[in-house]
């Protein structure tokens, strides 16, 4: 399986192209939602990485239009408190979090009006 220049698009050993994309996480089970295909919506096999990327992009857009949730009124402070800081804290060591916490609160106080 060789990677192409497109994210999520690969070439197999026989020269065929396919995409393998992640669409998100199931809110009930917590499992990743993945889609993998070697054919487009018409059932035709991909002849190039560009075609596979085009179809993968279409699938992503279709999924997010149907199942996506977007909060366009989210402020910077809400984003930092609700999403970024909890994610960052859970993915770094405790010592790193302790040293970076002051900087994060400083940036948050400066930019919270955005």
pLDDT along the chain (114 residues), means of 10: 88 92 84 91 91 92 78 77 84 87 77 60
| SS3 state at 100 | helix
Distance CA 40, CA 58 (A): 10
Give the pLDDT confidence score for residue 68 in this predicted structure.
66
Give the pLDDT confidence score for residue 113 in this predicted structure.
58
HSE on the CB side for 3, CA within 13 Å? 5
Largest CA distance in the chain: 55
Give the pLDDT confidence score for residue 44 in this predicted structure.
92
Give the pLDDT confidence score for residue 47 in this predicted structure.
92
Its pTM stands at: 0.58
Task: Specify the long-range contacts of residues 34-39, CB closer than 8 Å, at least 24 apart.
Answer: 35/59, 35/63
Give the pLDDT confidence score for residue 45 in this predicted structure.
93
For 5, phi then psi, to 5°, come to -75, -10
First vs last Cα of the chain: how many Å apart? 44
């Amino acid at each position: 399986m060789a990677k192409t220049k497109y994210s999520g698009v690969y070439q197999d050993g026989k020269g065929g192209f396919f995409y393998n994309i992640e669409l998100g996480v199931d809110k009930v089970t917590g499992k990743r939602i993945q889609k993998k295909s070697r054919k487009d919506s018409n059932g035709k096999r991909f002849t190039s990485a560009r075609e596979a990327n085009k179809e993968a992009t279409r699938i992503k857009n279709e999924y997010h239009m149907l199942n996506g949730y977007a909060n366009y009124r989210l402020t910077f402070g809400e984003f930092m408190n609700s999403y970024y800081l909890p994610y960052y804290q859970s993915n770094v060591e405790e010592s790193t979090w302790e040293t970076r916490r002051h900087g994060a609160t400083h940036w948050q106080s400066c930019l919270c009006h955005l």
